[in-house]
Amino acid sequence: MARLTIEALSKYFGDQAALKNVSMQVEDGEFVAVLGPSGCGKTTMLRLVAGFDAVSEGKIAIGDRIVSGPGTHLPPEERRMGIVFQSYALWPHMDVEENVAYALKVQKVATVERAARVARALETVGLTSFRNRRPASLSGGQRQRVALARCLAMQPEIVLLDEPLANLDVHLRASMEDEFATFHKRTGTTMFYITHDQAEAMALADRIAVMDHGRILQFAPPSQLYREPANETVARFIGAGMILPGKLAGEPANGRVAVDILGHRAVIRCGPDHGAQGPVKICVRAQDLAVDRQASDPLSARLRRLVYQGGHFQADLLLENAENLPLALTLPEPCEVAPGDLLPIVLRDGWVVPQTDVLA
């Protein structure tokens, strides 16, 4: 187990920067997810951490050991990291036990210790009774567990995972998420988990680094990303946040402030350094919005569509009088409104988005 430090890391392919001045620290035993759309630089970062590629600028340390940096590049096999890929990369001609033992054999781990480590790893992932099966006779989830056991048997200080569930169907994903969480709890190993799936990241990680275009936009626990997005990109990306234009209409106090949104007054949450008057962007979630026929100054929105979601509807609306901004909110069943209706909408909660656009 070890802390992973990434400092001012950049990676160029030709003159294209795939990673731009990224810094983050993963604490010993922490489960960190790196989340971002395809092409944002996640795999590039993992390959640098694993030692498959050399860094262009910056450094990487595991504990106090610098493994990548100016004039330093430790090869992957000296980094004490385990890696789990999206494709399981198992040997088809070896059974489960041999697959898990293979790297230990290459490392010349003595037979008795090797057997003990393989047995323990297989037990951890619940595959003891499958030890003599070939990969071809296993399900996708079981294969991924073999890959996990193989990585575990190496007793890594850090486990790197690159979209390990991307090839599995929805049901298997949920149970494998559970496996990873259990694995982490049981071993306390530092986990560096890459994914483009925010539900997966939210379910698993202590903290999530949200990436876009080779930068880290915010690095925070899941609920902070959701409740207090650091910028508009994170606000829109996490939990389908809607952004409304507003003006501060008072002094912030105790983390709350009055805002004016297209003539509607609401009191919402804000960060400590939000003293600025003038225009702001406000992040709102579907459950922050409600229909209120008693409100004196509601937003007026036209209902476009109701989507039944079992027990409730998602209502898609367009704000009248603004630049036709779309709004979505949740309405309970039964629902007495119909597409075309004009609805009075109020804000019960929201978040003033800080004005900085990139934190990194």
Ligand X SMILES: Nc1ncnc2c1ncn2[C@@H]1O[C@H](COP(=O)(O)OP(=O)(O)O)[C@@H](O)[C@H]1O
Positions in the binding site for Mg ion (CB under 5 A):
42-43
122 DSSP 8-state letter: H
Report the first-to-last Cα separation within the chain, whole angstroms: 26
Residue 41 binding result from ligand X, Mg ion, none, given CB thresholds of 5 to 8 Å by partner type: ligand X
CB 235 within 8 A of CB 221: no
Q: Phi and psi dihedrals of 137, rounded to 5?
A: -95, 15
- 3-class SS at 51? coil
Rounded to a whole number of angstroms, the minimum distance from the CB of residue 192 to ligand X is 13
Rounded to a whole number of angstroms, the minimum distance from the CB of residue 221 to ligand X is 22
Interface pick for ligand X out of 20, 42, 150, 269 (rule CB under 6 A): 42
80 binds ligand X (CB under 6 A): no
Residue 240 burial class via C-beta count within 10 angstroms: exposed 0-12, middle 13-18, buried 19 and up = exposed
Residue 39 binding result from ligand X, Mg ion, none, given CB thresholds of 5 to 8 Å by partner type: ligand X
- 3-class SS at 111? helix
For residue 279, the one-letter residue type is: P
Q: Are strands 242-248 and 279-284 parallel, antiparallel or unpaired?
A: antiparallel
13 binds ligand X (CB under 6 A): yes
Q: Phi and psi dihedrals of 45, rounded to 5?
A: -65, -45
38 binds ligand X (CB under 6 A): yes
How many whole angstroms separate alpha carbon 152 and alpha carbon 82?
Answer: 7
152 binds ligand X (CB under 6 A): no
Residues touching ligand X, count (CB under 6 A): 10
51 or 246, CB closer to ligand X? 51
198 binds ligand X (CB under 6 A): no
Other beta carbons within 10 Å of 91? 12
Stretch that binds ligand X, among 35-43, 267-275, 287-295, 301-309 (CB under 6 A): 35-43
Residue 13 binding result from ligand X, Mg ion, none, given CB thresholds of 5 to 8 Å by partner type: ligand X
Stretch that binds ligand X, among 32-40, 258-266, 304-312, 335-343 (CB under 6 A): 32-40
List interacting residues with ligand X (CB under 6 A).
13, 18, 36, 38-44
